[in-house]
């Protein structure tokens, strides 16, 4: 299998699964796993630029996660609030631009304002675009894009994709590498449009244990994949005339 150089500024997505099991296996409340998950976010994001990843989209809270017990939902919202409060300076210092993707109208009071403030404070970051999906559903994003259409004229994959993905600030809409931790192998309504040609990487590692070494391993496997985008592999030797 041919090994191609990894292009710069890849877009990686991660379904951060396994927080609850990580905690339960240690006799801890599930929220303890989510707390440790925030540390995994920090170390994973900070490893991205050196691995050639320019955009990292993380799945933190799905539109279906509202069904979880109120205590867990409340804990996750408190964690989001403290993340925005405590991490913004560090994100700005490390050249990280933060965007929060998903609905904001159902988030608890104060959080939409905190998101807007964190986004504004990190808007100059150019080493990494960190996108965190909260109250996010890929299918709802596709429906919302369809509703925003004024007319079907000159609708292309590119123009519709821009509506689905929302403000990308120059980042690529398409995901190159999609990672899911925690041993499950499904997409769970995450970036269904953007991941059309993503390479998939599933790992047994629980998210709280994930870090730069795991990301580097996923990138090494990605570099060995042959991406054809529906075409054919280029022949190693030119065909005889």
Residue 20 touches ligand FPP, criterion: CB under 6 A: yes
Give 14's Cβ-side CA count (13 Å radius): 30
* Footprint of ligand FPP on 110-139 (CB under 6 A): 132
Contact (CB, 8 A) for 13 and 59: yes
Instruction: Consult the annotation and say whether 75 binds a ligand.
Output: no
Among 80, 98, 133, 191, binds ligand FPP (CB under 6 A): 80
65 is catalytic: yes
Instruction: Consult the annotation and say whether 118 binds a ligand.
Output: no
* Footprint of ligand FPP on 136-195 (CB under 6 A): 182
The β-bridge relationship of strands 177-180 and 199-202 is parallel
Cα dihedral 187, 134, 193, 140 in deg (nearest 10)? 100
Q: How far is the CB of 13 from ligand FPP (least distance, A)?
A: 14
Q: Cβ neighbours of residue 110 under 8 Å, at least 6 residues apart? A: 81
Contact (CB, 8 A) for 57 and 13: yes
Selecting among 50, 65, 135, 140, the annotated active-site residue is: 65
Q: How far is the CB of 131 from ligand FPP (least distance, A)?
A: 11
Interface segment toward ligand FPP; rule CB under 6 A; list 17-25, 44-52, 190-198, 231-239? 17-25
Instruction: Consult the annotation and say whether 188 binds a ligand.
Output: yes
Q: 59 pairs with which residues across the strands? A: 15, 133
Nearer to ligand FPP, 58 or 145 (CB): 58
202: left (phi over 0), alpha (psi -120 to 50) or beta: beta
Interface segment toward ligand FPP; rule CB under 6 A; list 30-38, 49-57, 105-113, 225-233? 30-38
Largest Cα separation within the chain, whole Å, is 70
Alpha-carbon span 206 to 147, nearest angstrom: 37
Residue 104 touches ligand FPP, criterion: CB under 6 A: no
Residue 17 touches ligand FPP, criterion: CB under 6 A: yes
Instruction: Consult the annotation and say whether 93 binds a ligand.
Output: no
Instruction: Consult the annotation and say whether 86 binds a ligand.
Output: no
Residue 38 touches ligand FPP, criterion: CB under 6 A: yes
Contact (CB, 8 A) for 23 and 30: yes
Alpha-carbon span 98 to 132, nearest angstrom: 8
86 is catalytic: no
Nearer to ligand FPP, 65 or 94 (CB): 65
Instruction: Consult the annotation and say whether 193 binds a ligand.
Output: no
If binding means CB under 6 A, how many residues of this protein chain bind ligand FPP?
A: 19
Axis-axis angle for helices 70-93, 111-121 (nearest 10) = 20
Catalytic residue ranges: 17, 65
Given the rule CB under 6 A, which residues bind ligand FPP? 16-21, 34, 37-38, 41, 60, 65, 76, 79-80, 83, 132, 182, 207
């Amino acid at each position: 299998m041919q090994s191609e150089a990894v292009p710069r500024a890849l877009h990686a997505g991660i379904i951060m699964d396994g927080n609850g099991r990580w905690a339960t296996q240690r006799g801890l409340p599930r929220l303890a796993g989510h707390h440790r998950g925030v540390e995994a976010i920090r170390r994973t994001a900070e490893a991205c630029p050196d691995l050639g990843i320019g955009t990292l989209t993380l799945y933190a809270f799905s539109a279906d996660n509202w069904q979880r017990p109120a205590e867990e939902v409340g804990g996750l919202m408190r964690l989001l609030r403290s993340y925005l409060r405590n991490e913004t300076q560090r994100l700005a210092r490390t050249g990280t631009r933060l965007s929060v993707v998903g609905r904001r109208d159902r988030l608890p009071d104060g959080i939409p304002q905190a998101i807007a403030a964190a986004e504004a404070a990190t808007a100059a970051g150019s080493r990494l675009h960190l996108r965190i999906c909260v109250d996010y559903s890929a299918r709802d994003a596709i429906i919302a894009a369809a509703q925003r259409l004024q007319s079907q004229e000159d609708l292309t994959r590119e123009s519709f994709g821009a509506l689905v993905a929302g403000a990308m600030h120059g980042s690529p809409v398409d995901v190159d590498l999609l990672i899911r931790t925690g041993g499950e192998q499904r997409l769970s309504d995450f970036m269904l449009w953007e991941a059309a040609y993503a390479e998939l990487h599933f790992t047994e590692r629980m998210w709280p244990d994930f870090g730069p070494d795991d990301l580097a391993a996923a990138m090494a496997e990605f570099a060995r994949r042959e991406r054809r985008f529906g075409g054919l592999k280029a022949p190693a030797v030119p065909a005889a005339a």
